[in-house]
Chain A
Amino acid sequence: MRKPLACTVIFVFCTSTVSLCGCWGRLELQDTAFVVLMGLDAVQSSSGEPLPTSEAGLEVTQAIAISRALPSGRDGGGGRGPAPMVVLPMVAPNLTVAGESIEESVSRRVRTTHVEALIVGEALARQGLEDVLDQTLRYSNLRHTIHVIIAEGSARELITSLAPSIEVGPWTEARKAVQSIQGRVSNQLHLHDLLVSSSSKSKDAMLPMMRTWQEIAVGGGESAARPGRGPAITGVAVFKDATMVGKLDEVEAAHALMLHGSFRRAFMSYPLSASADDGVLSNRNLVGIEWDSVKAQKRVTMIGERAAINVNLDMEGGVMEARGDVDLTSPEGVRRLERQVAQSVRFHCQRVVEKVQREMAGADIFYFGDVLRTTFKTWDEWEKFDWPKRFQEAVVTINVTVHLRRPGLTLQNPWKLH
């Protein structure tokens, strides 16, 4: 009879502890409000200057999903009624206080466990995010897999523009907006990437930048009547450790990704030089290419104290648009076009590297350091080597090979045949 007795003791113990102390942390979904988007901005002075966070605190904007407006099985589809998000801005000394004080203005417990994206204003990003992000890494509620977006302008404005218009739920909307960026302008979308890049000396992060723009009214009905403001990708913000040091536009970002080796599919257009080798690019001759695969082979060697970086890009793609004097009907024409495109790509890549080296304190967004550190034996040597400083002086050589595998569905523009 000992086992039943033991079971009874355990059962009585469990039930009594629970009934005496209550169920810790139990929270019904009906009593919870979920933050979908969180925006962080630096507080601006009366003259519009951003103030340091240590003095003025943060401007925290939280977009909370309204559960009753979410699409549910009961009514069949959403989209009508109130907008499914409410945006609540506030100024608080730090994130913790912001999380506490938002509950004063919302009748429910506010949870940040389902934050889809953290949007950081550019001004704040340039001040550095180390201290601001401490809570997000220390507290288990905010996950490392949330997206981080840098807002050109203020985060608050961007959040307002991200209110769902096409997708029915706020999460799906925010997520799809972010995922469209992946592999095209930036491959680093998550808080985790920022954490890794800022703690590693051999690499730096580039996070997507977005701004608001006037939305084009799509379709009929209500949404056509009120064209809203929507988000648009403008490029990437380059970080050195956890501080933003500069930005690249979309084309530059794409080429940085190519050098990094994580470029995926994208459609890009290149102006060509008039003749094969004169090197002057013009928009009169232009070719649109959809890249299928871009392979980057990086080699870093030390020549004395200077690092010599050699990147071989092997690119494959298909022609999607051809304007001007582009000949795809003969093999020679294709070879010529390939050379022209390769030249154009090399030009872009070279420009990005130089820009980063010169203007952005040598933030290694191309992960050249990763290649170099494998040759080191101990951690101390690597630390002393001080790669970020040396990258600024490194010589970068880029070779590009382009293979245009497909000319599209036609060899020649039919209107140009005669």
Chain B
Amino acid sequence: MGWWGKILDWFNQEPAMPFSLDPEVPPIKVKGKGATGSYSPGAQEEAGTTGESEQGSSKPGILQKVGSFFSRKGKGDEGARGPAPEEPSVAPDLDKNLLTVRRILHTDRNSDVIIREFLLPVGKGIRAAFVFIDGMVNLRAVNADILRPLLDPDFAARLARGLAAGNVEKLFPAAATTLHDSMRKVVTETLMGNLALFVDGLGKALVVDVKGWEKRPISEPVTERVVIGPHEAFAETLKVNITMLRRILRTPDLICELLEVGKVTHTQVAIFHIEHITNPRLVNEVKRRISSIKASYVAESAILDQLIDVPRFWMVPHAVLTERPDRFAGAVAEGYVGIMVDHSPFGLVVPITIADFFSSAEDIYLRPPAPTFLKLIRASGMLATLILPGLYIAAVTFHHEMIPSVLLQAIAASKEGVPTPTPLAVFAGELGFDFIREAGVRVPSPVGPTIGIVGALLIGDAAVRASLLAPVTVIIIAVTAVASFTIPNQDVATLVRIFKYVFIVAGSTFGILGIGLLLYVVGVYLCSLRSFGVPIVAPVIAGGPSARDVVARRAVWKMEHRPRFLRPEGIRRQPPVSRTWTLARPLRPCKRK
């Protein structure tokens, strides 16, 4: 195929379908050619590297080629070691096994790998050894529940019988024991804090759960503090987090599926959903994306978040990041899919919608209309952060005619004698504020607030006194700064702070036209985003009562539907009359006879 053919091919490629939660898109009859273009998930997987490439945005062929090019190149450095040509399996010979383990775990250099060889006191003695990583296991449990019984002749005798009968895993007084014959699996389990027991002649390894490392206890949430509601946050340990969820959602339908991600980290990822509520297409898509990740380092939810988004999402968060079990559980109960990553105190909730940019954990605990009001405040805070500096520049440098005369009188007077051009002044002011903010985060906490006060008060006041900034400019910067703190979602807040500068540039070049056009582009761009098949503007545009709840929350007993844009299997959250006591006959005072 020549270059002309390639061009023709490019022109003739059908733009890929976006992933959709809709149950099915009916096939389209195309007359004449007889071709049918119907959608199926399988076809999509073939088509591209991303499941969600939108109309016209994907070039599967090219992308595939580029992808395969990189994967070829990356083979050398993708993991700790290249995949062995054959998966080593557990041999009957103990020495051989230990040699393999030593080789894989680099025991000549890894000093925390403990290999303890001993003799089972049966007959002449059977050679055995266990392997664990120091510090990751509960040593007391190892000594009391494993080593001591093994060295006890009675237990050893039973074990020998068990070895012969093939039910050795049932003999140990530990909660979870499994038999593995893949050496790689055994080593991975060891690295997770389990103990691997090799017995000469068994041909399998027994993995006993004796995990016990130092961990942070459950503490109060740091980023999502609330006044009303529970005060516990996720911890770093996946098991603890799963427990916390199970304690809230005590339904047998809560499914927690574990996947493993990361060539180096082998991180466990738990995917939560509720059977018969969550759309299975959504669950499958989440699983598909996570299981197909080929990255080497995935140790945190935030990293996973970036790995499961689509190209068009490169700036906007793709999942809600929360450290509150109640919020996480609430979302899962609504039909969202929750993702927990081991060693991360943050859970991911997908898909994200624009309402999540403005919602905080507390919203559900407040009585309406407070949540709606607060969301409005946050939304206007976001808008103010985004466009206020730009709008101010546009108004005072381009469109004097748009400022009311009496206001102009005040602004003009305050800007008198200030030599700094307004765009520069605003830009510098905003930059200065971002300095202060970043400095406040970096410096030790006792000094932090001081930095803020010194920076904001002293520098601002001094700049006004030195006629470097007009008081109005300082007000604008201060309002923007305060407004930027109203955005609950950290990712969005950062994004808005960055885009604020783009609006400043637009406002100082094309005035209000620039700002309007940029706002239009941002609007259409946001409308083009789909998070796991759900347009992120869905709550605003989708019809039905459920969508309204996301934007303007009603009383809890009035919210009868789950968000329809998730296409949940069970749309109804509660019966039309959830407070059945209202149906009962009202109590009347007894009539005295």
A joins B in a complex: yes
Residue of B nearest to A172 (CB): B406
Asked whether A18 is an interface residue with its Cβ less than 8 Å from the other chain, the reply is yes
B445: CB under 8 A from chain A? Answer: no
Contact bitstring B287-330, A, C-beta under 8 A = 1, else 0: 00000000000000000000000011010000000000000000
User: What 6 pairs between A and B have smallest CB-CB spacing?
Assistant: A72-B413, A113-B401, A70-B413, A171-B405, A18-B509, A169-B409
Q: Is A198 in contact with chain B by the CB < 8 A criterion?
A: no
Sorting the interface of chain B by its residue count into under 10, 10 to 19, 20 to 34 or 35 or more gives 20 to 34
Name 8 A/B residue pairs within 8 A (Cβ), A-sorted.
A15-B505, A28-B397, A29-B411, A30-B416, A68-B416, A72-B414, A73-B410, A171-B406
Task: Report the separation of the CA atoms of residues A3 and B405 in the bound assembly, to the nearest whole angstrom.
Answer: 43
The residues in A between 318 and 342 inclusive whose CB is less than 8 angstroms from any CB of B are none
Closest to B395 in A: A29
* Closest chain B residue to A75, Cβ basis: B413
B394 to chain A, nearest CB (A): 10
Report if A67 contacts B (CB, 8 A): yes
CB < 8 Å: which of A2, A15, A25, A113 contacts B57? A2
Q: Is the CB of B400 within 8 A of A29?
A: yes
Interface string of A140-157 (1 = CB under 8 A from B): 110100000000000000
Min CB–CB distance B27 → chain A (angstroms): 29
Q: Which residues of B contact A126 (CB under 8 A)?
A: none
Chain A residue numbers with a CB within 8 Å of B396 are 28-29
Instruction: Write out the residue numbers on chain A whose beta carbons fall within 8 Å of the beta carbon of B411.
Output: 29
Q: Please name the residue on chain B nearest to A30 by beta carbon.
A: B415
Q: Please, which residues of chain A bring their CB within 8 A of the CB of B314?
A: 3-4
CB within 8 Å of B: which A50-82 residues:
65, 67-68, 70-74
Distance between A304 CB and nearest chain B CB, rounded to angstroms? 52
- Distance A258 CA – B84 CA, assembled complex (angstroms): 102
Residues of B within 8 A of A23 (CB): 397, 508-509
The reply to whether B422 and A28 form a contact with Cβ atoms under 8 Å apart is yes
Residue-wise, chain A 3-21 has the 8 Å CB interface mask toward B (1 for contact) of 1100000000011001000
Residue of A nearest to B402 (CB): A113
**B518's closest neighbor in chain A, by CB?**
A14
Q: Identify the B interface with A (CB < 8 A).
A: 57, 59, 311-312, 314, 396-398, 400-401, 405-406, 408-419, 421-422, 471, 505-506, 508-509, 511
A29 engages B412 (CB within 8 Å): yes
Q: What residue of chain B has the Cβ atom nearest to residue A22's Cβ?
A: B509
User: Is A291 an interface residue, CB under 8 A from the partner?
Assistant: no
**A34: which of B398, B408, B418 is its contact (CB, 8 Å)?**
B408
Given the interface contacts A26-B398, A29-B396, does A67 sit within 8 Å of B311 by beta carbon?
A: no
Chain B facing A: main interface SS: helix
Q: B416 near A72 (CB under 8 angstroms)?
A: yes
Does chain B have a CB within 8 A of A111?
Answer: yes
Task: Choose one: B311, B398, B400, B506; the contact of A114 (CB below 8 Å).
Answer: B400
B409 touching A143 by the CB < 8 A rule?
Answer: no
For residue B312, give the distance in angstroms from its CB to the closest CB of chain A: 6
| In the complex, residue of chain A having the shortest beta-carbon distance to the beta carbon of B467 | A74
Q: Which residues of B contact A302 (CB under 8 A)?
A: none
Given the complex, which residues of B lie within 8 Å of A169, measured CB to CB? Answer: 406, 409
A74 and B471 form a contact (CB under 8 A): yes
Can you list, as one digit per residue, whether each of A64-106 has a CB less than 8 Å from chain B (1) or not (0)? 0101101111100000000000000000000000000000000
B57 → chain A, closest Cβ, in Å? Answer: 6
Candidate in A15, A113, A116 with the most chain B CB atoms within 10 angstroms: A113
Q: Are B416 and A32 in contact (CB under 8 A)?
A: no
- A108-145 interface (Cβ within 8 A of B): 111, 113-114, 116, 140-141, 143
A144 to chain B minimum Cβ distance, whole angstroms, is 12
B79 → A minimal CB distance (Å): 26
B401: chain A residues within 8 A (beta carbon): 111, 113-114, 140-141, 143
User: 4 new A-B pairs (CB below 8 Å) besides A28-B396, A30-B416?
Assistant: A28-B421, A29-B396, A68-B416, A171-B405
Residues of A contacting B406 with CB < 8 Å?
169, 171-172
Whether the pair B311, A65 counts as a contact (CB closer than 8 A) is no
